[in-house]
């Protein structure tokens, strides 16, 4: 089974999380980094993100009219855009495609040898009223639906879905009829207090 691991966004605490990923994720797989910085990883591909596409400050988005108080519209749009582009650039032909983050720590090994026919696998917890959007895996066609939240978010919002990343992702998967499976392995974000986002306006 060939597995493609797709990392998008900022590397953040990758140096401290790397060994955890090697032990719990990287089994006969290839890592694809669509990130701001080059991780210089062997057996991986790196394409740099040119910068932020949506201004973080001083811009009023219509989605602000109906969003969660803690939601940042520009941050979600940048995240979805980077994820969508990263998935689109990743090579085809793998059995499993994994959406993950460089700053995650896992409490156990992930089993990728599962039924992948229109199935997506997402850790339990960290749903925040929607569904955990930190980690997911499935086959190419299923993950294509997962990453399409970037394409579908405006339609979902027009249908009454609150603007909030986890809520939008759950609505996106349900609308496309993807079967959601929860896996017992959980993950947590390892924060880097000195890290600051790259903002290009």
Query: Domain containing 115: what range?
Result: 3-189
How large is the average pLDDT for residues 58-78?
A: 90
* H or E stretch at 80: helix 73-89
Q: What is the per-residue pLDDT for 195?
A: 44
User: Is the residue at 168 inside a domain?
Assistant: yes
How are beta strands 29-35 and 104-106 bridged, if at all?
A: unpaired
Residue 17 lies in a domain: yes
- Establish if 64 belongs to a structural domain: yes
Residue 59 in this model has a pLDDT that exceeds 90: no
Q: What is the mean pLDDT of residues 138-166?
A: 97
201 pLDDT exceeds 80? no
The lowest-confidence range among 52-66, 69-83, 84-98 is 52-66
What pLDDT band is residue 29 in, cutting at 50, 70 and 90?
A: confident
Number of domains observed in the structure of the chain: 1
CATH code at position 34: 3.90.550.10
Q: Phi and psi dihedrals of 139, rounded to 5?
A: -80, 180
Q: Is residue 194 part of a domain?
A: no
- Residue 188 token pair: 């947590």
Reported as a pLDDT band with limits 50, 70 and 90, residue 157 is: very high
Three-state secondary structure along 146-176?
HHCHHHHHHHHHHCCCCECHHHHHHHHHHHC
Tell which residue, 136, 137, 126, has the closest CA to residue 166: 126
* Residue 199 domain flag: no
* pTM, 2 dp: 0.92
Confidence of residue 198 (pLDDT cuts 50, 70, 90): very low
Instruction: Confirm whether 196 is domain-assigned.
Output: no
Q: Is 69 within the bounds of a domain?
A: yes
Region of 73 (left: φ > 0; alpha: ψ -120 to 50; beta: rest) is alpha
Domain assignment present for residue 159? The answer is yes
Torsion of CA 107, 125, 100, 86, to 10 degrees: 180
pLDDT of 92 above 70: yes
């Amino acid at each position: 089974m060939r597995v493609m691991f797709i990392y998008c966004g900022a590397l953040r605490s990758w140096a401290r999380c790397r060994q955890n990923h090697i032990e719990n994720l990287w089994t006969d797989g290839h890592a694809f980094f669509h990130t701001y910085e080059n991780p210089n990883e062997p057996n991986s591909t790196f394409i740099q993100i040119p910068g932020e596409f949506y201004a973080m400050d001083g811009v009023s988005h219509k989605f602000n009219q109906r969003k969660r108080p803690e939601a940042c519209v520009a941050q979600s749009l940048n995240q979805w855009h980077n994820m969508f582009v990263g998935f689109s650039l990743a090579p085809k032909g793998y059995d499993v495609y994994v959406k993950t983050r460089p700053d995650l720590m896992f409490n156990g090994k992930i089993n990728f040898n599962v039924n992948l026919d229109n199935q997506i696998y997402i850790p339990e917890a960290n749903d925040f009223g929607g569904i955990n959007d930190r980690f997911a895996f499935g086959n190419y066609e299923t993950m294509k639906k997962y990453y399409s939240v970037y394409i579908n978010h405006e339609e979902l919002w027009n249908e009454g879905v609150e603007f909030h990343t986890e809520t939008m992702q759950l609505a996106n998967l349900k609308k496309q009829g993807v079967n959601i499976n929860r896996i017992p392995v959980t993950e947590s974000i390892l924060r880097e207090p000195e890290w600051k986002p790259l903002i290009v306006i």
